[in-house]
């Protein structure tokens, strides 16, 4: 089979390249290539350009033509830079309790919440967990998400965290999406640990982090900084040690109370995620840093909480990515495009800002430079929406799903074929 392919013509191709990493974006800045073609070699993009010009240039002995006969808008494969899709069980009862007036933190304090999921996840075998994680990743892939960050954090002991991270790696082999694992052993002080938060984090630094780094189970460390979880001071000590080992840092920050984003900026974290409770000062500090702010509208919708002040952060000059936070507690929906569209209406975001937030800015939140745009040298991860106008996509709030999903140069999902089968 020929490794080189020319795909097109594509009615509008939004390459999302050469846009600034930080600050507000206007739709007039969007790089829109009309009647475009994508030339691939193996898993990488060689060139994009006018389809007719590329067609005349190629040698048909070497390049396979894949002609598209309908109108499509192409976007880079979406990147979900914050999920917890490796979990067992359901927290439907938390949903009912919240809607009867109990808060997320009250439910956590009375033994529900994250600890409930830890109990259920510990009961599952590693291979069952891998299977369920891969099936959620496949669901995201069909919606156009080609790279997915997946956190541990429902194990909360050395062995159970290793089980989770190993399952994420097994799931990565089962799904055609790319999974990137993050160690969230610092999600909560587990009820069965004999000692306080400081002792727990110290234990994890000594017994867990060196192993997972050496075994290649994760390169990223996350911590939940919150009244019900870990303090700023505890987090600083933990993250410094994680950084010394070599980990990249990300933080669950300012979800209910301010504080976490300050630690994230101090630690030069790749991202500070949540930010629903960030103060003006927090946002300013973040905007003046290279740490990417990640909005998680799925958690705001799930909990009935305010949205991340995305507009403010962008207007102050900050960088914004948008992720689903798919988890059984605060964000069980797991539909990134729907959530990002809803965030856009409440926060008054341009389409360019939303598309940037789920492509190249999300790639940067994961420290990736070879994904998130459709450009020469990048991985050939792109999606084709069945429309001739990019503005239809957010307008339909997630209801227009990609017709085709391409990952590393291969068509990994075709909605028409799915409908027939
Ligand atoms: O990002 N805030 C902490 N962690 C997750 C929720 C996890 C859960 O409730 O199971 C979040 O919202
Ligand atoms: Fe989260």
Closest ligand (CA of 83): 2
> For 62-117, how does the pLDDT look when each residue is reduced to its tens digit (9 = 90+)?
999 999 999 999 999 999 999 999 999 999 999 999 999 998 888 988 878 999 99
Please give the pLDDT value at position 299: 98
Closest ligand (CA of 154): 1
Residue for token pair 């937030």: 357
Distance from the alpha carbon of residue 38 to the mean position of ligand 2, in angstroms? 35
pLDDT > 90: what percent of the chain?
95
**Ligand 1 contact via 327 beta carbon (within 6 Å):** yes
Please give the pLDDT value at position 1: 60
Closest ligand (CA of 105): 1
Pocket test for ligand 1, best of 80, 84, 261 (most atoms within 8 A of CB): 84
Give the residues across from 36 on adjacent strands: 10, 50
Residue nearest to atom 12 of ligand 1 (CA): 330
Residue nearest to atom 1 of ligand 1 (CA): 325
For the record, the structure tokens of 77 come out as 């494969």
E strand segments, 52-161: 63-67, 73-76, 78-80, 145-151
Stronger pLDDT, 227 or 366, i.e. the higher one: 366
**Ligand 1 contact via 295 beta carbon (within 6 Å):** no
> For 270-327, how does the pLDDT look when each residue is reduced to its tens digit (9 = 90+)?
999 999 999 999 999 999 999 999 999 999 999 999 999 999 999 999 999 999 999 9
Strand-strand pairing, 410-414 and 404-407: antiparallel
Give me the mean pLDDT over the 245-265 stretch.
98
Distance from the alpha carbon of residue 255 to the mean position of ligand 1, in angstroms? 9
Distance from the alpha carbon of residue 109 to the mean position of ligand 2, in angstroms? 18
Pocket test for ligand 1, best of 86, 87, 103, 114 (most atoms within 8 A of CB): 114
Nearest to 141 by CA among 407, 333, 409: 407
Pocket test for ligand 1, best of 153, 325, 329 (most atoms within 8 A of CB): 329
Residue nearest to atom 9 of ligand 1 (CA): 329
Question: Average pLDDT of the chain?
Answer: 97
Q: Is 63 helix (H, G, I), strand (E, B) or coil?
A: strand
Stronger pLDDT, 108 or 146, i.e. the higher one: 146
Closest ligand (CA of 260): 1
**Ligand 1 contact via 329 beta carbon (within 6 Å):** yes
Q: Kindly give the number of the ligand 1 atom that is closest to the alpha carbon of 302.
A: 12
Residue 50 has a CB neighbour count (10 Å cut-off) of 15
Pocket test for ligand 1, best of 120, 187, 188, 328 (most atoms within 8 A of CB): 187
pLDDT band at 421, cuts 50/70/90?
Answer: low
pTM: 0.98
The gap between the terminal CA atoms of the chain, to the nearest Å, is 26
**Ligand 1 contact via 330 beta carbon (within 6 Å):** yes
Residue for token pair 């050496």: 214
E strand segments, 68-215: 73-76, 78-80, 145-151, 178-186
Distance from the alpha carbon of residue 294 to the mean position of ligand 2, in angstroms? 10
**Ligand 1 contact via 255 beta carbon (within 6 Å):** yes
Residue 2 has a CB neighbour count (10 Å cut-off) of 11
**Ligand 1 contact via 254 beta carbon (within 6 Å):** no
Closest ligand (CA of 117): 1
- Percentages helix, strand, coil for the chain (3-state, rounded to 5) are 40, 20, 40
Q: How far is CA 77 from CA 106, 370, 413, in A?
A: 38, 12, 12
> For 174-203, how does the pLDDT look when each residue is reduced to its tens digit (9 = 90+)?
999 999 999 999 999 999 999 999 999 999
pLDDT of 344 over the 70 cut = yes
pLDDT > 70: what percent of the chain?
99
> For 382-405, how does the pLDDT look when each residue is reduced to its tens digit (9 = 90+)?
999 999 999 999 999 999 999 999
Distance, CA of 292 to CA of 268 (rounded, Å): 10
Residue for token pair 């959530």: 339
**Ligand 1 contact via 328 beta carbon (within 6 Å):** yes
CB 48 within 8 A of CB 37: yes
Closest ligand (CA of 303): 1
Distance from the alpha carbon of residue 37 to the mean position of ligand 2, in angstroms? 37
pLDDT of 420 over the 80 cut = no
């Amino acid at each position: 089979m020929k490794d080189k392919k020319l795909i097109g013509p594509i009615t509008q191709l939004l390459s999302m390249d050469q846009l600034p990493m930080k600050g507000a974006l206007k739709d007039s800045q969007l790089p829109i290539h009309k009647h475009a073609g994508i030339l691939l070699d193996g898993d990488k993009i060689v060139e994009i350009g006018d389809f007719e010009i590329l067609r005349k240039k190629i040698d048909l002995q070497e390049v396979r033509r894949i002609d598209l006969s309908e109108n499509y808008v192409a976007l880079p494969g979406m990147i979900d830079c914050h999920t917890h899709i490796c979990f067992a069980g359901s927290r439907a009862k938390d949903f009912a309790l919240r809607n009867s007036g109990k808060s997320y933190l009250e439910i956590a304090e009375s033994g529900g919440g994250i600890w409930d999921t830890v109990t259920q996840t510990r009961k599952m075998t590693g291979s069952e967990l891998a299977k369920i994680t891969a099936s959620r990743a496949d669901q995201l892939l069909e919606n156009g998400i080609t790279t997915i960050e997946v956190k541990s954090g429902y194990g909360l002991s050395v062995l159970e965290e290793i089980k989770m991270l190993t399952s994420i790696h097994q799931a990565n082999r089962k799904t055609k999406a790319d999974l990137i694992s993050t160690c969230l052993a610092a999600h909560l002080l587990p009820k069965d640990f004999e000692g306080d938060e400081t002792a727990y984090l110290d234990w994890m630094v000594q017994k867990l982090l060196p192993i997972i780094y050496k075994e290649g189970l994760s390169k990223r460390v996350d911590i939940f900084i919150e009244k019900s979880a870990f303090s700023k001071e505890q987090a600083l000590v933990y993250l410094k040690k994680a950084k010394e080992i070599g980990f990249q840092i990300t933080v669950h920050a300012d979800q209910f109370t301010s504080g976490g984003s300050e630690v994230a900026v101090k630690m030069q974290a790749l991202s500070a995620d949540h930010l629903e409770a960030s103060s003006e000062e927090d946002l300013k500090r973040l905007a003046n840093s290279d740490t990417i702010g990640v909005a998680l509208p799925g958690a705001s919708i799930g909990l009935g909480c305010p949205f991340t002040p995305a507009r403010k952060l962008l207007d102050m000059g900050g960088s914004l990515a948008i992720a689903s936070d798919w988890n059984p507690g605060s964000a069980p929906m797991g539909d990134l495009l729907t959530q990002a569209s809803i965030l856009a209406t409440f926060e008054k975001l341009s389409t360019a800002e939303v598309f940037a937030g789920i492509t190249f800015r999300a790639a940067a939140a994961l420290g990736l430079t070879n994904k998130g745009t459709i450009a020469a040298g990048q991985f050939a991860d792109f999606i084709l929406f069945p429309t001739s106008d990019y503005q239809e996509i957010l307008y339909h709030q997630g209801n227009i799903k990609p017709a085709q999903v391409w990952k590393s140069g291969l068509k990994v999902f075709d909605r028409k074929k799915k409908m027939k089968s």
